[in-house]
Amino acid sequence: MAAIRLRGSWKGFCGFCVWTSVLLLSALPARLEAASTELMSLRTAIQHSRARWTSGDTPISRLPPEERRKYLGGRVSFMPPPELTPSSIVTTGSLPRYLDWRDHKGANWVTPVKDQGPCGSCWAFSAVGALESVIAIKANNPALALNLSEQFVLSCSAGTCDGWWLTSTADFLRTTGAVDEGCFPYTGGRRDACSNRCGDWSDRVWKIHRWQSVPNDVAAIKTALNQTVLTTAFYVYTDFFYYTGGVYEHVWGDYEGGHAVVLIGYDDIEQAWIAKNSWSTDWGEEGYFKILWGNCGVGRDTLLFEYSNVCDEGDIACEAGLGWATGSPAEARSLQTSSERSRGVSKIGNTALWILLPLISIGIGRYLLWKDRL
């Protein structure tokens, strides 16, 4: 009798699966048709506006509108950002006409493109992605290849999958920092409790020294980019989901929300910024895109991170590259402590030598004088 009931339940479950599949499949053609209609309208708009970018089917454009918006989350302010003091960023006319940190001085200083999934955690990916490159640039070591944890920033800060401010994220990186990916792996959008981080997380934290808001000015942003990569936010419209290449500018569609990315360069000829997104390498130009200067509010909320390491104090171990080669700040601090002890012993020895030399000289003089009297 129990077996009969089990078979009946199994049949009911299978029936549910069949009907669910039928409903999903029946909705798919309508969704594809809507996406196809959008794409046709978009391509017409691109052609009429003579925009310099291409559109096509992407992993994000295939999603229903409500699912697409889950990939946003950067909160763009509607007020101009605070200006820097004149001495903070000094613009110059000697800037190169092209800059791309993926190929700068013969090296790639940008960490790989990641996938934030259906969670509005772009603010965490933008800030962490910038921090990874900032540390490598500060260390003058493109092979550092840091992989820091966006999940730690998402779970342990006040930010959520509904988004957060870049300035608040920067404050978190300054006061708390970010651990390595192995300490708190990304869960694909599920906001894990902060307590799920590794037990020794405090020894694996990387912090910024301070952050600055870059003025919304092309020359100022270019000057800042020549120092390091930046984090920025902008407004996203429907057409951006369909981007496949070229210099993006908004030509069609409704406002969808704010989004945060990593600025990694610029192109004077195309008058565009070069940016790293967090929608996987299947979107855009293998995860990257170009956007026209000033379009969609890009440049309004742009931040520069400053990283300070124990190596910045001229430590002997760091000068030899040992501090930067370590996988955690704790090890770098350990090296610094050992080196400071060595330098302390050396200082004591030098001090003793300077005290003894005059005494030795006096002793030799008296000996010679005594010998002459004899």
Q: Which residues are designated catalytic?
A: 122, 259, 277
Compute the distance between CA of residue 296 and CA of residue 126 in angstroms, rounded to an integer.
17
Q: Are 203 and 328 in contact (CB under 8 A)?
A: yes
Compute the distance between CA of residue 247 and CA of residue 365 in angstroms, rounded to an integer.
82
Measured CA to CA in angstroms, residue 228 lies from 79, 107, 139, 148, 202 at distances of 25, 14, 12, 18, 26
**Nearest alpha carbon to residue 211 among 265, 260, 147, 167:** 167
Compute the distance between CA of residue 205 and CA of residue 180 in angstroms, rounded to an integer.
7
Q: What residues have CB less than 8 Å from 272, skipping those under 6 apart?
A: 247, 266, 290, 291, 292, 293
Residue type, 120: G
**Length of the chain in residues, anyone?**
374
Parallel, antiparallel, or unpaired for β 288-292 and 243-248? parallel
Q: What residues have CB less than 8 Å from 343, skipping those under 6 apart?
A: 316
Strand partners, 285: 288
Compute the distance between CA of residue 4 and CA of residue 332 in angstroms, rounded to an integer.
67
Compute the distance between CA of residue 76 and CA of residue 303 in angstroms, rounded to an integer.
12
Q: Are 182 and 188 in contact (CB under 8 A)?
A: no
DSSP 8-state code for residue 87: T
